[in-house]
């Protein structure tokens, strides 16, 4: 996978276009060194124009990475790779949940998820700027989906969780790596995808791009 290329990648400038501490942790666990440049892209794409949450997250992630890549094009040391990511929760009725704006919305989200299986989608957009041709770039995007089942929950549990403040920076109003992990009765797919970054799929895709010569270290 990507581990045999980690040293060579660390010699290049990698950029994570996200403020998420969870994404920093997951990407750092691969042994990669990278700068964090938070994207200024307004996450306001029209959800009705997408087939589902996976496509929406993939498009948003790509726009995040492109915004940062464009902003950094005039820097002396151009990034080799800019990585954007976006995570959403999709309920069985097809509604797409991002981060709750307040406690009432967080409660509504948790109530709608309790006792059922929902989908967590993370989209990833990776931009490779071309130093020899300003403005030209290679873009690779993909998404990963994990199925998460919540146990039936008491409202008091949900209110206690909301009181911790944890739901407000997490899609769907919960973080699986925190206290809300106790809500999860089963999971099918990538755990790290629910945290915010599908590390296995990312590692495979970048590794394949190196092997087939799509990108050169």
pLDDT digits (tens, 9 = 90+) for 52-100: 999 999 999 999 999 999 999 877 789 999 999 999 999 999 999 999 9
**Amino acid 76: pLDDT:** 76
pLDDT band at 102 (very low <50, low <70, confident <90, very high): very high
For 119-164, the pLDDT digits (tens) are 999 999 999 998 777 778 999 999 999 999 999 999 999 999 999 9
Q: Confidence band (pLDDT; 50, 70, 90) for 217?
A: confident
The span from the CA of 54 to the CA of 161, in Å, is: 27
Q: What is the 3-state secondary structure (H, E, C) of the chain?
A: CHHHHHHHHHCCCEEECCCCHHHHHHHHCCCCCCEECCCCCCCCCCHHHCCCHHHHHHHHHHHHHHHHHHHHCCCCCCCCEEEEEEEEEECCCCCEECCCCCHHHHHHHHHHHCCCEEEEEEEEEEEEECCCCCCCEEEEEEEEEEEEEECCCCHHHHHHHHHCCHHHHCHHHCCCCCHHHHHEEEEECCHHHHHCCCHHHHHHHHHHHHHCCCCCC
Res 9: pLDDT: 95
Can you give the pLDDT at residue 153? 95
Report pLDDT for 75.
79
- Enumerate residues 6+ apart whose C-beta is below 8 A from 147: 117, 118, 119, 120, 187, 188, 189
Who wins on pLDDT, 1 or 30?
Answer: 30
104: left (phi over 0), alpha (psi -120 to 50) or beta: alpha
**Of 86, 93, 130, 212, which residue is the catalytic one?**
86
φ/ψ region of 139 (left if φ > 0, alpha if ψ in -120 to 50, else beta) reads beta
Whether this model's pTM surpasses 0.75: yes
State the pLDDT confidence band at 1, using cuts at 50, 70 and 90: confident
Q: Note the pLDDT of residue 186.
A: 97
**Residue 201 pLDDT:** 98
What pLDDT score was predicted for residue 130? 84
The reported pLDDT for the residue numbered 149 is 98
Q: Convert the pLDDT of each residue in 175-210 to its tens digit.
A: 999 999 999 999 999 999 999 999 999 999 999 999
Q: What is the pLDDT of residue 141?
A: 98
Active site residue 86: yes
């Amino acid at each position: 996978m990507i581990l045999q290329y980690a040293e060579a990648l660390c010699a290049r400038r990698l950029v994570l276009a996200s403020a998420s501490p969870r994404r920093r942790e997951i990407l750092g666990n691969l042994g990669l060194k990278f700068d964090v440049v938070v994207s200024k892209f307004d996450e306001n794409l029209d959800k009705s124009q997408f087939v589902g949450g996976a496509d929406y997250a993939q498009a948003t992630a790509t726009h995040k990475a492109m915004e940062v890549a464009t902003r950094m094009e005039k820097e002396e040391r151009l990034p080799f790779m800019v990585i954007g990511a976006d995570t959403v929760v999709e309920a069985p009725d097809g509604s797409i949940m991002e981060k709750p704006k307040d406690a009432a919305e967080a409660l509504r989200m948790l109530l709608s998820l309790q006792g059922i299986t929902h989908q967590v989608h993370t989209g990833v957009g990776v931009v490779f700027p071309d130093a020899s041709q300003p403005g030209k770039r290679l873009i690779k995007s993909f998404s990963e989906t994990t199925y998460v089942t919540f146990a039936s929950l008491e409202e008091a549990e949900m209110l206690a969780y909301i009181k911790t403040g944890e739901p407000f920076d997490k899609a769907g109003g919960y973080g699986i790596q925190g206290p809300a992990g106790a809500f999860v009765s089963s999971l099918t797919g990538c755990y790290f995808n629910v945290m915010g970054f599908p590390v296995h799929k990312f590692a495979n895709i970048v590794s394949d791009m190196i092997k087939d010569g799509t990108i050169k270290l």
